[in-house]
Chains A and B, each alone.
Chain A
Amino acid sequence: MNDSSPATPPQRSSAPVTAMRLMDGGLIDRSRTLGFTFDGTRYTGHPGDTLASALLANGVRLVGRSFKYHRPRGILTAGPEEPNALVELRTGARREPNTRATTIELYDGLVAASQNRWPSLQYDLLSINGLAGPLIGAGFYYKTFMWPAAWWEKVYEPLIRRAAGLGRASGVADPDHYDKGHLHCDVLVIGAGPSGLMAALAAGRAGARVVLCEEDSRLGGRALLDGRRIDQRPAADWVAAIEAELAAMPDVRILKRTSVVAAYDHGTFAAVERNNDHLAEPPAFAPRQTLWRIVAQRSVLAAGALERPLVFPGNDRPGVMLAGAARAYVNRFAVMPGRRAVVFATNDDAALTVTTLAEVGIDVAAVVDARSEMSPAMEAAARMASALLITGGAVTRVRGSLGVEGVEIRSADGRKTRIACDLLCMSGGWTPNLHLTCHQNNRPVWDARLAAFVPGNLPSGMAVAGAANGEMSTRSAIMRGAELGVAAAVACGFRAASPDLPPTDEESTSSSPLWRVTGVTGKAFVDFQNDVTVTDIGLAHREGFRSVEHMKRYTTLGMATDQGKTSSINGLALMAELTERSIPDTGITTFRPPYQPVALGTLAGHHRGKDFRPTRLTPTHAWAAERGAVFVETGAWLRAQWYPESGERDWLESVNREVRTVRNAVGVCDVSTLGKIDVQGPGAAGLLDFLYANTMSTLPVGRARYGLMLREDGFVMDDGTVSRFAPDHFVITTTTANAAKVLQHMEHALQWLRPDLEAAVVSISEQWAQFSIAGPRSRDVLQRVVDSPEAISNAAFPFMAIAETTVLGGLPARLFRISYSGELAYEIAVAAGYGEALIRAIMEQGRDFGIAPYGTETLGVLRIEKGHVAGNELSGQTTARDLGLGRMLAKKKDYIGRVLQERPALLAGDRPALVGLRPVDTGARLRAGAHLVASGQEPVAANDLGYVTSVAFSPTLGHWIGLALLSGGPARHGERVRVWDPVRSGDVLAEVCDTVFVDPKGERLHV
């Protein structure tokens, strides 16, 4: 062994100097300085930096702690695949846990903190977990924490939960807002590296509508990172020229900071644009992020490739970095990721890292090429960098805990050399970034030459270009990008020609895999974030978790925030080795959307708070609000629940007054929310006969009839009224809740079940405002509103009459003498826009008769007093007979539900059927949802007789009343039942009675 000269000591992370920044180069704006803090220490950086590059520029290498062992971790990558450098970004309500420092664009005032450590990043007490490694290997928790049994939930689990998770969520509402949008294009290009740019250019020049999405804030992809020349100029200049041309094309849309995260069927993609994440907070009224739903005829995936780490002991120490990332920091950010480097690689691509580091003055101490044969490219690079070249060698150990201090290298002949360094660049080769090709269950295929999976079958319309397709050189990427851009445009009907292909540098992409360094001891990490080591994979194998999916689930490999981007291939290669199968035989775990983690706020867009769902307002909403109505959400509608008057202490007092007003004088209620459907045509009557359980074709013109609709399975679907305005013209109403469903049901009947019927149906719910005017004085009021008062006398316009008429001096209206309340009552409908005018007129004309408006509560009390069924009874679990409506069922016609309602269980005598309930102690309260057992019986399931469906306090009777579904039904009238409601501490006796509590003979309807 020999020790070479010591490296520069690692930088203290508190040093507020940008010690590692190069004097020139890079795509940063040195003219401006941005201040930021990390773990409370102030640093500076420049526009163009990421948080990661700025931290490196300041000499900060220790950035985070791992999930299980709390190992010190640094920055592994320069991109979105980063597994280690996760931070809590921002503070307060905007705190974002687990944010990758490598993707955070630096802004002035940025605040970030490390996570999953206590008390500090440098001294983390839970790092003792590392010592317990043998006890807490893969899947240990399944085998333990079982003794004593009670301790699991009281002791063990709380401890585990506290230790788990990485960053902390803000815990308070996200103050930002989010947008959504649709984009339609001919060609979607995903990724703006050399191949993506060429694809977009080719398709754009052909005139295709192109959307080009780039995850980064800049176009260029690897061209910005590698420092090569394209088109005989610096690659960044070539990128800028292409970008300028694309930007000038009217049908090309460039979306930067936009990740295409999912590929759905038929050319539908989800993309996330980070509109304002590069600012401390979004400008006023601007979204933080936008979810784009992109529909494309053709797509070109040009997402590049991801570099693989090598697996050896200590490969996770801060200062161990992917080779491509190291040169990215130099080339793009003008940062030295270290002062003295060792490069450990299996491929020629890393030679570029060697020369890049050397060019900016980083001392490359050694180049360790794992391949046994000398690589000319590597040899040339090592010579240029004056570095020791060790062919057939391996890094076997990393010295340093909070940061790399040196490495131990084993030569091909087994000799070991120690070299001091503060940077270890590693490259295990490149894996095509083919995530999106697999979202529709396609599987990638193994390419033995590349030692990588490449895209297999592709989603329809998709093609893959460049490194994502295994075309690893810039030249091949450019060529294929242009080719696929042309092909995509042609497929969309454009004439296209390939752009001239720019000359590129020579490059060697020769590579040979090394899945792990053998003959070593110590923790060698496969999945960095989740702390999955080679040992864990061995254990999974030993215990039979050998399928890649079992291995993943048992060890948690690939389940961290990077979803295996840096770990999954290495993991399955190790399992393949253990099971002595090939890698393709071992298989690969499934790629699932999203490709990058997506904020839930983005997926929700504006649909939160009051805007979660649309709010429908009735035509009289403004008027009701003016009167101080209390509103209630009923489905999508906001309806007046009651109208308090001064001096009333609670809702019950208001509702009682409203009920009494209707029973004794007159009330008015907006019932516009009822579904209203217009049915016309020679087949209209036949259609309604088919849809309703009772007969409608016999309904005379000018009359209305109550109707009951069943589902085909024989249960009640909905009820409402059917009014016949002409032989071939009906208007039906539905319940508010079922308006849309009934319309669909009718259209289904008409277009599919009974195409023989010539009829048309259309919703007119929105077009008509409709009010119920109910009470003994309702005719008096109405006669002052309609233009022909004599036409609505009791004789001229009896119960269940309907008519088209005019009100308020010529305003067309429809009048229905129907009653939900059991009183003399009418419903009147006018064009929705006149609704407010009409209700004001009704209130004005009704003042002399003591009119009051009433809301949904009173509506409910009135109907319960009359025993009418509503949503609570039309539960989808009840038949017409259960509801006491069996007599309505027609016997001489076919209708939906006719046959299956006759099934034995639907006719059983012990089925719960509708009854009324009155409390024995009239002071007792009934509650809906209470169950019923026979008086004196224990409240156990075997004695369950049914439940209370609806209750109301009846001011007419002076006590609570209820409707219930009771086994045996009306046969039990007069019996006493226990109304048992333990969840609200209720247990009262009630007498079973008829469902009609007020005016059982229905005389008031006809006065």
Chain B
Amino acid sequence: MRYSLTTLLGQALMGNRGWRQAWRRPDPKPDYDVVIVGGGGHGLATAYYLAKEHGLSRVAVLEKGWIGNGNVGRNTTIIRSNYLLPGNTPFYEWSLKLWEGLEQDINYNAMVSQRGVLNLYHSDGQRDAYARRGNAMRMFGVDSDLLDREQVRAMVPYLDFDNARFPIQGGLIQRRGGTVRHDAVAWGYARAADQRGVDIIENCEVTGIDVIDGRAVGVMTTRGPIKAKKIGLAAAGNSSRVAAMAGLRLPIESHVLQAFVSEGVKPLIDNVVTFGAGHFYISQSDKGGLVFGGDIDGYNSYAWRGNLPMVEDVAECGMALMPMLGRLRMLRSWGGLMDMSMDGSPIIDRTPVDGLYLNAGWCYGGFKATPASGWCFAHTIARNEPHAFNAAMRLDRFASGRLIDEKGAGAQPNLH
């Protein structure tokens, strides 16, 4: 059912009784051309683009719980392509372009809101590092502007300009960056993929991967065995567990990242603002809640919960940056499992097992990548080779040394 003004009005007149399921609830078929493990944003987008761009409709997305249960439904909703390194920038820029056309493409309003992403700098060195990044973005045709202190003040006057421990000197802004209603991304891709024949199968946990003579041929699930010509893993924080079913060990640790939302208030913060003297980023949702977050908790975890010191750290950064937040209340905190890679950048690649493909290592930046990740993973699966956009996101880059280490933090996931 296509969403349009006509259907909307028509349904309103008939008491909204005619709306149909946004996606079907099929039972798994015995075999598929492609099985995607993981019904999060990346898995659903992959299925959609497999169908749309590569004409594959015998595709299933297997989700152990409900779709969107993973990080697509528990992030701070920020989109941007302000990356430094050439292995990343074109990929994220492609993602941003896909975001810009998303609602028309999938006929679903995920509320892509290009409010601008402002990264603040607090020292000359940080200014120059942001200039380096802004210049690198310009080389890829990506918008970026370096603002001085007064330009930042004009834009976000409520920051602490007068009494800050680390005075704000300016910022790098990407005006095309912004936010998206995160759950709607999962639902929108699910609905669009479903309309193209993709089977979205919830409550279907993958318990094993069949590998015969070095080739993946199917999966075992809680709803029975399913054969597949190709299998794509998009399991985020559970990537290591799923890959282990095919005998693979990954350059990944699973860590918890917390995110927070405040009570809803009238419009207060118009942009996405990130602090440069601590780990903190914030925006305001269309519903009025301030959505914010900080650093990962910092140790391996599969427990979907966070710790108190990080909550305090995030609040401290928030108050240092925006002392007007003091009387606003944190309403809810939550934790997601991040697939922290060893250089802080993702992997979209084939694996040493034929027919098995990997999409993982998103650290805590996977949400913004959702469209391009799906698009590139679909390409990699369908063509059995990466697209130029994800050509650098190889699994063997750790062996070769072709790392994509934006921060230069080295092989320690909790520093990325």
Within 8 Å by CB, do A and B touch in the complex?
A: yes
Q: Report whether A153 and B114 are in contact in the complex, using a CB–CB cutoff of 8 Å.
A: yes
Question: Contact string, A236-270, partner B, CB cutoff 8 A, digits 1/0?
Answer: 00000000000000000000000000101100101
Tell me, yes or no, whether B346 is within 8 Å of chain A by CB: no
Q: Please, how many angstroms separate the alpha-carbon atoms of A600 and B326 in the complex?
A: 5
Q: Report whether A875 and B408 are in contact in the complex, using a CB–CB cutoff of 8 Å.
A: yes
Question: Contact string, A75-98, partner B, CB cutoff 8 A, digits 1/0?
Answer: 000000000000000000011111
Q: Which of A166, A178, A943 contacts B263 (CB 8 A)?
A: A166
Binds A, one of B5-13, B30-38, B242-250: B5-13
Q: Which of A153, A164, A607 contacts B264 (CB 8 A)?
A: A164
Tell me, yes or no, whether B216 is within 8 Å of chain A by CB: no
Question: Contact string, B188-207, partner A, CB cutoff 8 A, digits 1/0?
Answer: 10000000000000100000
Q: Which of A95, A174, A176, A262 contacts B325 (CB 8 A)?
A: A174
Tell me, yes or no, whether A854 is within 8 Å of chain B by CB: no
Q: Which of A717, A928, A941 contacts B131 (CB 8 A)?
A: A928
Set of chain B residues within 8 Å of A906, measured between Cβ atoms: 401
Q: Please, how many angstroms separate the alpha-carbon atoms of A146 and B187 in the complex?
A: 16
Q: Report whether B329 and A876 are in contact in the complex, using a CB–CB cutoff of 8 Å.
A: no
Question: Contact string, B95-139, partner A, CB cutoff 8 A, digits 1/0?
Answer: 000000001100111111110000000110101111111111011
Question: Contact string, B256-281, partner A, CB cutoff 8 A, digits 1/0?
Answer: 00000011111110000000011000
Tell me, yes or no, whether B29 is within 8 Å of chain A by CB: no
Q: Report whether A169 and B122 are in contact in the complex, using a CB–CB cutoff of 8 Å.
A: no
Tell me, yes or no, whether B183 is within 8 Å of chain A by CB: yes
Q: Report whether A711 and B125 are in contact in the complex, using a CB–CB cutoff of 8 Å.
A: no
Q: Report whether B111 and A146 are in contact in the complex, using a CB–CB cutoff of 8 Å.
A: no
Given known A171-B324, A544-B25, A983-B134, contact A142–B110 (CB-CB < 8 A): yes
Q: Report whether A262 and B405 are in contact in the complex, using a CB–CB cutoff of 8 Å.
A: no
Nearest to B100 among chain A residues (CB) is A149
Nearest to B148 among chain A residues (CB) is A984
Q: Which of A262, A556, A876 contacts B407 (CB 8 A)?
A: A876
Question: Contact string, B7-23, partner A, CB cutoff 8 A, digits 1/0?
Answer: 11101110111011111
Q: Please, how many angstroms separate the alpha-carbon atoms of A599 and B288 in the complex?
A: 16
A966 to B: closest C-beta gap in Å? 14
Question: Contact string, A509-527, partner B, CB cutoff 8 A, digits 1/0?
Answer: 0000000000000000000
Q: Report whether B307 and A608 are in contact in the complex, using a CB–CB cutoff of 8 Å.
A: no
Q: Report whether B324 and A905 are in contact in the complex, using a CB–CB cutoff of 8 Å.
A: no
Given known A544-B22, A550-B66, contact A876–B409 (CB-CB < 8 A): yes
Question: Contact string, B359-374, partner A, CB cutoff 8 A, digits 1/0?
Answer: 0000000000000000
Q: Which of A157, A441, A602, A613 contacts B111 (CB 8 A)?
A: A157
Tell me, yes or no, whether A981 is within 8 Å of chain B by CB: yes
Q: Please, how many angstroms separate the alpha-carbon atoms of A813 and B278 in the complex?
A: 37
A745 to B: closest C-beta gap in Å? 11
Q: Which of B11, B158, B332 contacts A563 (CB 8 A)?
A: B332
A218 to B: closest C-beta gap in Å? 23
A5 to B: closest C-beta gap in Å? 37
Q: Which of B111, B134, B165, B307 contacts A609 (CB 8 A)?
A: B165
Set of chain B residues within 8 Å of A165, measured between Cβ atoms: 264-267, 287-288
Q: Report whether B267 and A162 are in contact in the complex, using a CB–CB cutoff of 8 Å.
A: yes
A991 to B: closest C-beta gap in Å? 20
B5 to A: closest C-beta gap in Å? 6
Tell me, yes or no, whether A134 is within 8 Å of chain B by CB: yes
Q: Please, how many angstroms separate the alpha-carbon atoms of A875 and B126 in the complex?
A: 12
Set of chain A residues within 8 Å of B330, measured between Cβ atoms: 594, 597-600, 603
Tell me, yes or no, whether B154 is within 8 Å of chain A by CB: no
Binds A, one of B48-56, B225-233, B312-320, B379-387: B312-320
Set of chain A residues within 8 Å of B104, measured between Cβ atoms: 146, 149
Q: Report whether A877 and B405 are in contact in the complex, using a CB–CB cutoff of 8 Å.
A: yes
Nearest to B101 among chain A residues (CB) is A149
A22 to B: closest C-beta gap in Å? 33
Q: Please, how many angstroms separate the alpha-carbon atoms of A94 and B308 in the complex?
A: 26
Given known A612-B278, A941-B86, contact A600–B8 (CB-CB < 8 A): no
A159 to B: closest C-beta gap in Å? 10
Set of chain B residues within 8 Å of A593, measured between Cβ atoms: 311, 332-333
Tell me, yes or no, whether A137 is within 8 Å of chain B by CB: yes
Nearest to B167 among chain A residues (CB) is A633
Tell me, yes or no, whether B340 is within 8 Å of chain A by CB: no
Tell me, yes or no, whether B75 is within 8 Å of chain A by CB: no
Q: Report whether A166 and B288 are in contact in the complex, using a CB–CB cutoff of 8 Å.
A: yes
Q: Which of B66, B166, B188, B399 contacts A633 (CB 8 A)?
A: B166
B80 to A: closest C-beta gap in Å? 16
Given known A165-B264, A264-B307, A553-B183, contact A542–B21 (CB-CB < 8 A): yes
Set of chain A residues within 8 Å of B122, measured between Cβ atoms: 633
Tell me, yes or no, whether B410 is within 8 Å of chain A by CB: yes
Q: Please, how many angstroms separate the alpha-carbon atoms of A547 and B21 in the complex?
A: 13
Tell me, yes or no, whether B411 is within 8 Å of chain A by CB: yes
Given known A592-B333, A608-B319, contact A981–B135 (CB-CB < 8 A): yes
Tell me, yes or no, whether A207 is within 8 Å of chain B by CB: no
Chain A contacts with B in 101-152, Cβ cutoff 8 A: 134-135, 137, 140-147, 149, 152
Chain A contacts with B in 546-578, Cβ cutoff 8 A: 547, 549-550, 553-554, 556, 560-561, 563
Tell me, yes or no, whether A507 is within 8 Å of chain B by CB: no
- By size class, the interface of chain A is 35 or more
Q: Report whether B319 and A604 are in contact in the complex, using a CB–CB cutoff of 8 Å.
A: yes
Nearest to B292 among chain A residues (CB) is A600
Nearest to A634 among chain B residues (CB) is B123
Set of chain A residues within 8 Å of B341, measured between Cβ atoms: none
Set of chain B residues within 8 Å of A649, measured between Cβ atoms: none
Set of chain A residues within 8 Å of B405, measured between Cβ atoms: 876-877
Q: Please, how many angstroms separate the alpha-carbon atoms of A291 and B22 in the complex?
A: 44
Q: Which of B22, B267, B286, B307 contacts A545 (CB 8 A)?
A: B22
Q: Please, how many angstroms separate the alpha-carbon atoms of A931 and B133 in the complex?
A: 9
Set of chain A residues within 8 Å of B331, measured between Cβ atoms: 561, 563, 594, 597
**Which of A161, A547, A599, A983 has the largest count of B CB atoms less than 10 A from its CB?**
A983
Q: Report whether B287 and A174 are in contact in the complex, using a CB–CB cutoff of 8 Å.
A: no
Q: Report whether B308 and A144 are in contact in the complex, using a CB–CB cutoff of 8 Å.
A: no
Q: Report whether A160 and B128 are in contact in the complex, using a CB–CB cutoff of 8 Å.
A: no
Chain A contacts with B in 572-616, Cβ cutoff 8 A: 590, 592-594, 597-605, 607-613, 615
Chain A contacts with B in 643-698, Cβ cutoff 8 A: none
A937 to B: closest C-beta gap in Å? 11
Q: Please, how many angstroms separate the alpha-carbon atoms of A174 and B325 in the complex?
A: 7
Tell me, yes or no, whether B351 is within 8 Å of chain A by CB: no
Q: Report whether A905 and B109 are in contact in the complex, using a CB–CB cutoff of 8 Å.
A: no
Nearest to A950 among chain B residues (CB) is B128
Question: Contact string, A44-67, partner B, CB cutoff 8 A, digits 1/0?
Answer: 000000000000000000000001
Set of chain A residues within 8 Å of B86, measured between Cβ atoms: 941, 944
Tell me, yes or no, whether B155 is within 8 Å of chain A by CB: no
Tell me, yes or no, whether A707 is within 8 Å of chain B by CB: no
Q: Which of A563, A714, A872 contacts B128 (CB 8 A)?
A: A872
B221 to A: closest C-beta gap in Å? 18
A103 to B: closest C-beta gap in Å? 12
Given known A161-B267, A550-B66, A612-B166, contact A169–B134 (CB-CB < 8 A): no
Q: A144-B8, A542-B17, A615-B165 are in contact. List 20 more A-B contacts (CB 8 A).
A: A97-B263, A140-B8, A141-B111, A144-B109, A169-B328, A174-B327, A270-B311, A291-B312, A543-B21, A545-B22, A550-B68, A560-B264, A597-B263, A612-B317, A714-B401, A876-B407, A940-B141, A943-B139, A980-B135, A982-B135
Q: 8 A-B residue contacts at CB 8 Å?
A: A145-B109, A165-B267, A270-B308, A542-B16, A542-B21, A634-B123, A928-B128, A929-B135
Which residues of A are in contact with B by a Cβ distance under 8 Å?
A: 67, 94-98, 134-135, 137, 140-147, 149, 152-153, 157, 160-162, 164-174, 176, 178, 180, 262, 264-265, 268, 270, 291, 293, 439-441, 535, 539, 542-545, 547, 549-550, 553-554, 556, 560-561, 563, 590, 592-594, 597-605, 607-613, 615, 632-634, 711-715, 717, 871-872, 875-877, 900, 903-906, 927-931, 939-941, 943-944, 947, 980-984
Closest 10 CB pairs of A and B: A876-B408, A174-B326, A165-B288, A929-B131, A601-B326, A603-B315, A903-B401, A905-B401, A597-B329, A544-B21
